[in-house]
Amino acid sequence: MRSWHEVIVLMLVMQDPPYLTLKPNSAFLAGNDRFEGYLADILRLLSASVGFDYEIRLSRDGKHGELHTDGMWDGMIGDVQRGVMNSNYSFYHITH
């Protein structure tokens, strides 16, 4: 079993103020320093406390995820399902 010190958590997100947004000067910053908000703060504190590294990435297609007839998802849920990302963060609304 790997230790938390050997893990890099890839966190897929969508901008969602006040939880996570790009900083106004993000074009001049790199990596996780580009982001601000509650989620960025929590990840920074957890990383320091538990001892893991993380990388915040914005959703590639800007979609939360939709289930297709073949049982596969697109969007952020699909990226986690396929193992492209370890986790994602967003608010999900059940519409039916």
Identify whether 95 is part of a domain: no
DSSP string, 9-58: EEEEE--BTTTBEE-TTGGG--GGGGEESHHHHHHHHHIIIII-EEEEEE
45-84 per-position pLDDT tens digit = 999 998 889 999 888 888 888 899 999 998 888 888 888 7
What is the per-residue pLDDT across 2-51, written as a single tens digit (0 to 9) for each? Answer: 665 666 777 878 888 888 999 999 999 999 999 999 989 999 999 999 88
**Dihedral over Cα of 75, 18, 46, 56: its sign:** positive
- Give a yes or no: residue 94 inside a domain: no
Q: How many structural domains does the chain have? A: 1
49 φ, ψ (degrees, to nearest 5): -75, -50
User: In terms of residue numbers, what domain contains 66?
Assistant: 4-89
CATH no. for residue 16? 3.40.190.10
Dist CA 28 CA 62 (whole Å): 23
